[in-house]
Structure 1
Amino acid sequence: MAADKRIAGGGTSLASNPGLRQDLPDHNGRAGIVMRILGSLVVIAIAYLLFWPVPVNPVAYDPPRAPGFTGDFAVNRVLDQMELISLPDGELGPEDVAVTPDGHVYTTSLSGDLFRIDGPEPVRIDTLGGRPLGLRGGPDGALYIADSFRGLMRWSGPGTLESLVSEIDGKPVVYANNLDVARDGTIYFSNSTDRFDPETMGGTKPTSVMAIWEQSNTGYVARRDPDGTVKKIAEGFVYTNGVALSPQEDFLLISETGRARVHRLWLTGEKAGQQEIFFDNLPGYPDNLKAQGDGTYWLAFASPRVPSEKLMPYPFLRKVLWRLGPLVRPAPIRRGMVIQFDGEGNILRNLQDPEGRLGITTSAKKINDTFYVMTLTSPWYARMPAADLPPR
């Protein structure tokens, strides 16, 4: 009762003062504003996911189911025993390895430095610039380089770097990747894609992901003859990568990373000009190919097949996923593997690094008494005595 008297006598109630009621917050009105803002944000988010421009224009592709690591590709840990050799000064990315006729062994780095690696430790020999990828020693003693920024290059000593091919038919070589050199000096090299320039779009790793995610078939292989004539000899690849000549130079093997397969292009004989599938539906994405010189070849896998391949038949969904940003976009999986095979496609050796200790494996070859495995973005390459390789 005392409380009632206070209100009646000296207090103020909402009922007795309608003006006060109008001045208090309108909770329903505020909630409505918040809901309208949230609704607008949802609409904006949906519009972004559906319509925001992205650089990739995906093509529908229905990949075969990946075979997994069984049979000839059964899991093992042979690469675990390899010694990791770091590049000096924090350099990264010894992508490929090559030996010149004088017996010197070379690799390059992400920043464009050239290292000699046939001694105990890598030794910087020159600064080339660009982003050198594929390397091959030529019969003239020079080192030939597929530079992803500048095209096909030749190096014969410090300060001698020269450009051999930067365009074909008036169009730039956008993404030179790998090469092989014939005994007469003819050079075969791959251009991974004409769609994405690694120099202007973040480097070779992100542009490789873009090209494979898009599945556009603008990759090709070209030939440079000793007289300087250049022409495309095979086209229509989804991210062309490694190339390797047979010992008789009658065919060329070609890695098509984006379709997880290897092609054979016949260069001479009755089948000259014909192209056929050599390996299909591999368990990983093939990278560099290296001819061993004895009729066998080494092939490195940059990554196992990724689960997001399930979205390949759906171009629209792949665009939506790309708009979600780098954290959800497909990326290589660190799981090393290299194989050795012969000209008939028989797997002779299967060497793996299931835990991804090496990083992204890109190339392998036995040179003299040492076996090398190279990497895309790691600060090291790996080596081991060739005598320690498992038997074929």
Structure 2
Amino acid sequence: MPVSTVHAPKALVTPPPEPLVPVRYVDIGGRGPEDVVTDARGRVLTGVEDGRILRLDGLTDPGPRGPRVELLADTGGRPLGLEPLPDGTLLVCDAVRGLLNVDLTDGRVRVLADSVAGERLRFASNAVALPDGSVHFTVSSRRHPLEHWIGDLVEHTGTGRLLRLAPGAREPEVLLEGLQFANGLAASADGSFLVVAETGAHRLTRYRLTGPGAGRAEPFAADLPGLPDNLWRRGSGGPVWAALAGPRVPALDLLHHAAPAAVRRGAARAARRVPFRPTGMVGLLALDDTGTVLHHLTRRHSRFRMVTSVCETDGHLVLGSLWEHGVAVCAAPPPK
């Protein structure tokens, strides 16, 4: 049965912002590397607007050869969240085709799920594979497709979902619904809960998988200083990194809290007609499994905009973006 999230206030305490220090920009020959993750060898995987899955090697190499971009597959849709699997294949949340499995050796694409309860998956966003063979993944909106993402954020539809695909199952089950633009997803170090980013509510929500509270949702970190997008962590030892795709917008907060649904729908239609250009404010958060912020990295006048993902490799942070034509490599802060 679907479980609606219940959110109690939990203010986020952030340390003083640290500067996000850029090292280099790498053009990858494709627009919108929305999610960036690392494989077992520390190489970066990403998907771009035209459907290609790319592997980026040597992003931090100082030598003259420079980074290398390799084509691995083409989903035929729009890949967003990625999750490498132990067997060497790749889970892909495709905004057009649903939840996919991609063989990185020969590029074969297999659809794992493209509907739930007879409803086509419109906007699969991010996935996590658990040791029991199950896959949990988010759907950002049941009303707006990816190209109208800004309409969902303005309208505040609350139609995001968390789904579970059991091992061998052909259709997922709904675990949570009523989420405000469900986005990034990460598992706790001990596998007892998942963290879900709700972009439209500036918060991270915890969904408990085991223990007395299994099947319940609760706040993990609320009142974030920006719009949380993809989440990433390296194995079970590192922090959960959250990319902030943009700053808080006071007018939008007011619209969400004070305007009736009809007014929000009209504002969403207007927002879709206005050309969008992201601000130069970018940010990253690193949190431990108690929801404590370990790092808050910001850059106010960044030339690399709309950071939607982050991963760490070879002592550097690699940033992805729904907007840019490449990735940014930045200095990683000392671990805490």
Q: Under a length normalisation based on structure 2, what TM-score does the superposition of the two structures give?
A: 0.85
8 Å CA contact retained: 2:82, 2:126: yes
Alpha carbons of structure 1 residues 362 and 290: separation in structure 2 relative to 1, 3 Å: same
Give the corresponding residue for 1:169.
117
Of residues 45, 54, 76 in structure 2, which corresponds to 1:115? 54
8 Å CA contact retained: 1:139, 1:184: no
Q: In the alignment, residue 351 of structure 1 is paired with which amino acid?
A: L
Q: Distance in 2 between matches of 1:380 and 1:74?
A: 29
Of residues 281, 305, 329 in structure 1, which corresponds to 2:248? 305
Q: Distance in 2 between matches of 1:171 and 1:218?
A: 13
Q: In the alignment, residue 241 of structure 1 is paired with which amino acid?
A: N
2:186 is equivalent to residue 244 of structure 1 = yes
8 Å CA contact retained: 2:35, 2:82: yes
Alpha carbons of structure 1 residues 331 and 271: separation in structure 2 relative to 1, 3 Å: farther
Q: Distance in 1 between matches of 2:248 and 2:269?
A: 22
Ranges in structure 1 where 5+ consecutive residues have no aligned partner: 1-63
Give the corresponding residue for 1:193.
141
Give the corresponding residue for 1:125.
72
Q: Distance in 2 between matches of 1:320 and 1:184?
A: 44
Q: Give the secondary-structure state (helix, strand or coil) at the position aligned to 1:356.
A: coil
Q: Distance in 2 between matches of 1:183 and 1:114?
A: 24
Q: Distance in 2 between matches of 1:324 and 1:227?
A: 43
Q: Distance in 2 between matches of 1:149 and 1:331?
A: 23
8 Å CA contact retained: 1:85, 1:121: no
Q: In the alignment, residue 162 of structure 2 is paired with which amino acid?
A: V
Larger strand share, 1 or 2: 2
Q: CA deviation at 1:291?
A: 2.1
Give the corresponding residue for 2:214.
272
Alpha carbons of structure 1 residues 227 and 329: separation in structure 2 relative to 1, 3 Å: same
Q: Distance in 1 between matches of 2:218 and 2:134?
A: 22
Q: In the alignment, residue 136 of structure 1 is paired with which amino acid?
A: E
Q: In the alignment, residue 37 of structure 2 is paired with which amino acid?
A: A
Alpha carbons of structure 1 residues 104 and 226: separation in structure 2 relative to 1, 3 Å: farther
Q: Give the secondary-structure state (helix, strand or coil) at the position aligned to 2:178.
A: strand
8 Å CA contact retained: 1:135, 1:145: yes
Alpha carbons of structure 1 residues 249 and 308: separation in structure 2 relative to 1, 3 Å: same
Q: Distance in 2 between matches of 1:178 and 1:371?
A: 20
8 Å CA contact retained: 1:138, 1:185: no
8 Å CA contact retained: 1:321, 1:329: no
Of residues 85, 98, 106 in structure 2, which corresponds to 1:138? 85
Q: Distance in 1 between matches of 2:155 and 2:322?
A: 21
Q: In the alignment, residue 350 of structure 1 is paired with which amino acid?
A: H
Give the corresponding residue for 1:148.
95
Q: In the alignment, residue 164 of structure 2 is paired with which amino acid?
A: R
Alpha carbons of structure 1 residues 162 and 74: separation in structure 2 relative to 1, 3 Å: same
Alignment of 1:1-392 (within 5 A): 72=14, 74-79=16-21, 81-88=22-29, 91-101=30-40, 103-119=42-58, 120-157=67-104, 158-198=106-146, 203=147, 207-228=148-169, 230-293=172-235, 294-309=237-252, 310-312=254-256, 313-315=258-260, 316-319=262-265, 321-322=267-268, 332-384=278-330, 386=332, 389-392=333-336
Q: Distance in 1 between matches of 2:183 and 2:292?
A: 21
Q: CA deviation at 1:381?
A: 0.8
Q: In the alignment, residue 208 of structure 1 is paired with which amino acid?
A: W
Q: In the alignment, residue 137 of structure 1 is paired with which amino acid?
A: P
Q: In the alignment, residue 362 of structure 1 is paired with which amino acid?
A: T
8 Å CA contact retained: 1:75, 1:354: no
Q: Distance in 1 between matches of 2:159 and 2:271?
A: 25
8 Å CA contact retained: 1:253, 1:264: yes
Q: Give the secondary-structure state (helix, strand or coil) at the position aligned to 2:279.
A: coil
CA offset digits 1:156-186 (Å, max 9, x no partner): 1333111101011211111000111112331
8 Å CA contact retained: 1:299, 1:339: yes
Q: Give the secondary-structure state (helix, strand or coil) at the position aligned to 1:234.
A: strand
Q: CA RMSD in A?
A: 2.4
Q: Distance in 1 between matches of 2:271 and 2:207?
A: 38
Q: Distance in 1 between matches of 2:269 and 2:294?
A: 43
CA offset digits 1:18-61 (Å, max 9, x no partner): xxxxxxxxxxxxxxxxxxxxxxxxxxxxxxxxxxxxxxxxxxxx
Alpha carbons of structure 1 residues 86 and 73: separation in structure 2 relative to 1, 3 Å: farther
Q: In the alignment, residue 314 of structure 1 is paired with which amino acid?
A: A
Q: Give the secondary-structure state (helix, strand or coil) at the position aligned to 2:329.
A: strand
Q: Distance in 2 between matches of 1:141 and 1:190?
A: 22
8 Å CA contact retained: 1:366, 1:372: yes
Give the corresponding residue for 2:6.
none
Q: CA deviation at 1:346?
A: 1.3
Tell me which of the two structures has the higher relative contact order, counting C-alpha pairs closer than 8 angstroms and 6 or more residues apart.
Answer: 2
Larger helix share, 1 or 2: 1
Q: In the alignment, residue 275 of structure 1 is paired with which amino acid?
A: A
